[in-house]
Structure 1
Amino acid sequence: MHRGKGMKFVGDSRVKADKVKFIPKDYSEYPGRTEAFWPNFLLKEWLVGAVFLVGFLCLTLAHPAPLEGMADPTDAAYVPLPDWYFLFLYQFLKYEFASGPYFVIGALIIPGLAFGGLLLAPFLDKGPHRRPTKRPIATALMLVGIVSVFWLTYEAAEHVEWEKRAEENKPVWPSAVEIDKESEGYALYENSCLQCHGENLEGGGAAPALVGTEKTVEEIQDIAVNGINTMPAGVFKGSEEELTKLAEFIKSVGQEE
C-alpha cells in the first residue's frame, strides 16, 4: 500500500488456493436410504405420532381408569398405590433384598444403576451397525430393562383388584341424594353412626358409604349390633324398635323409588 495512492489488496498466504468449499454430501448414490428432513421425514414422524395419540385417546374412552374417592389422611387402613407407570418400582420394593433394612438398595442403588446403564448404553456401544445382533451391549441392556419393567408391572397389577378397589372407595356425591334429617331414623343415625359414616352417609376413612347400600334391613341390624371388619360390636345402643327404624332409614337412603 502506497501512501496517497489508495489501497491495494494482496493475497493471504494462509488461505489455500485449492481449498474445496463445503458442499453437502451427495446421497444419490444411496437410493432409498435417505430423505430430506423437511418436510418428508418430519411429516412421517407427525403422522405416526398422530396415529398413536388417537389410539391412546380411544383406549382411554373405551376403558376409563377406575377412580377412587378423595384422599383421607385419617384412614390408617387404606393402602395407597402409585400410578401404573411406577408399579414396577412398587413391586420391586416388596422383595426382601430391596426392602426393610435394604431399602436404600432397592430405592436408590439398583434403580440408579439400571437407569444409569440405559443412559450410558450409547456410549458403551458405539458400533455403526443397525442390526441388534451387531450391538450386543445396547441390545442386552434394552431387553433387560423392558422385560424387567413389564414383568414387575404385571406382578404388581395381578395382585390388585382394581375394579373392586375402586368400587369400595368410589366417591359419593351427597348433594345428589335427598336425606330427611328431621326423621326419627336420622336422629338415631346421628347418635350412633354419624361420627364414622358422615353427615350425609357418604362414608369416610375405613367406614364405607351407606348411600344406596345393597344390604338388607336384617343385615344392617346385625352389623349395627355385632360389627363387621374394622367396625367393632356394640356401636348401636338402643331398643329393638329403634334398631329397626335405624336400619330402615339407612336402607331407604339413595334407593330408587
Structure 2
Amino acid sequence: MKRGKGMKFVGDSRIPAEKMPNIPKDYSEYPGKTEAFWPDFLLKEWMVGAVFLIGFLCLTAAHPAPLERIADPTDAGYIPMPDWYFLFLYQLIKYQFASGPFNILGVAIIPGLAFGALLLAPFLDRSPERRASKRPFATGFMLLGIAAVFYLTWESVVNHDWAAAEQQGKIVEGTDVEIDQDSEGYQVYAGQSCINCHGENLEGGPAAPALVDLDLSPDEIKDIAHNGIGTMPADQYQGSDEDLDKLAEFIASLKSEE
C-alpha cells in the first residue's frame, strides 16, 4: 500500500475527512424555539415593518406637521426650539455654568466627557453576567444617564413659553400692500432698528405689530418713533429729522387695496 492511501488525517488536517452536504439544519428538533432565516424570519420582519409604515403614514395624514411662517433672520424676538432629542442639551446650555462665557463647557466639554465615557464601559465592567442586578457599574451609569437626559428634557419642555412660540410661528395672511423697497422711506426704515422687530415687509412679529394699515398720521408716527408706545421704548429712532419725515410718510402711506 502506498503511503497516504486509505489514511484519514484528523490531527493537523485542515480538510474534513468527510464532506458534509450543504443542507439546512432540521429545525424540527426545536419546535417553536427557532426558525429558518429565509424566508420565515425575514417575512415576519417585513410584515412588522409594513404595519409600522402604514400606521405612521396614517398618523401623518391625520395630524399633519405644524408649519410656521417663513424664517426671518431679522426677527430678533424669535424663540428657538430644537427637536425633542436635543432638548436636554438645549436645557443644559441655559444654566449659568454652561452659558455665556462658559458656553464651550456646555456645548462641547460636558457632552464630550459624557459620551466619551462610553469608551471606558468595557473596562469598568467586564462581568459576563447578564442580570442588571449583578452588574452595578453598568446599570448605575445607564440609570444615571437616563435620569439626566429625562430631567433636562422635562425642564426644557416645562420652561418653554408655548403660547409665545405659537404666536411667533403663526402664518399671517399676506396683505395686498406692495412694498417699494427702493423708496427713500423704506431705505430709512431698513437702516433703523425698526426692521428687527417689525420685519422686512413690515408684517410685524411676536415683538411688534404690523406697520400696514395704521390709522395714524405722519406726525403721530414721528411721536411714537421718539417717545415709544406700549412695549416699544423711547428713542428707538436714530437719524435726522428729514429722514424721519420720509419714514413717517412712507409708513402712513401703506394701505391695503380694497
TM over 0.5: yes
Query: Aligned partners of 1:16 and 1:180: how far apart in 2?
Result: 85
Query: Aligned partners of 1:102 and 1:111: how far apart in 2?
Result: 14
Give the letter for the 1:127 counterpart: P
Work out whether 1:164 is the aligned partner of 2:164: yes
Structure 2 counterparts to residues 59-70 of structure 1, below 5 A? 59-61=59-61, 62=63, 64-70=65-71
Matched residue count: 232
Q: Is the 8 A contact 2:78 2:168 kept in 1?
A: no
Q: Secondary structure at the match of 1:40?
A: helix
In the TM superposition, residue 111 of structure 1 has moved relative to its aligned partner by 1.7
Residue of structure 1 equivalent to 2:229: 227
In the TM superposition, residue 52 of structure 1 has moved relative to its aligned partner by 4.0
Give the letter for the 1:111 counterpart: P
Query: Aligned partners of 1:178 and 1:167: how far apart in 2?
Result: 22
Q: Is the 8 A contact 1:121 1:138 kept in 2?
A: yes
> Do the aligned partners of residues 83 and 40 (structure 1) sit closer, same or farther apart at CA in structure 2, a change above 3 Å counting?
same
Structure 2 counterparts to residues 1-257 of structure 1, below 5 A? 14-15=12-13, 30-61=30-61, 62=63, 64-72=65-73, 74-100=74-100, 102-118=102-118, 121=121, 124-125=125-126, 127=128, 129=130, 131-172=131-172, 174=174, 177-179=175-177, 196=195, 197=198, 200-203=201-204, 207-210=208-211, 225=224, 226-230=228-232, 232=234, 246=252, 253=256
Q: What runs of 5+ residues in structure 2 fail to find an aligned partner? A: none
Query: Aligned partners of 1:34 and 1:223: how far apart in 2?
Result: 82
Q: Secondary structure at the match of 2:177?
A: coil
| 1:179-203 alpha-carbon deviations (Å, 9 max, x no partner) | 2779xxxx9x969968734675334
Aligned residues: CA RMSD: 5.1
Calculate the TM-score normalised by the size of structure 2. Answer: 0.58
Aligned-pair identity (%)? 46
Q: Is the 8 A contact 2:179 2:201 kept in 1?
A: no
In the TM superposition, residue 87 of structure 1 has moved relative to its aligned partner by 1.4
| 1:16-49 alpha-carbon deviations (Å, 9 max, x no partner) | 8985767988766654333333333333333444
| 1:37-67 alpha-carbon deviations (Å, 9 max, x no partner) | 3333333333444444444444445162352
Residue of structure 2 equivalent to 1:5: none
Q: Is the 8 A contact 2:27 2:36 kept in 1?
A: no
Q: Secondary structure at the match of 2:33?
A: coil
> Do the aligned partners of residues 20 and 115 (structure 1) sit closer, same or farther apart at CA in structure 2, a change above 3 Å counting?
farther
In the TM superposition, residue 92 of structure 1 has moved relative to its aligned partner by 1.2
Q: What runs of 5+ residues in structure 1 fail to find an aligned partner? A: 1-7
Give the letter for the 2:86 counterpart: F
In the TM superposition, residue 84 of structure 1 has moved relative to its aligned partner by 2.6
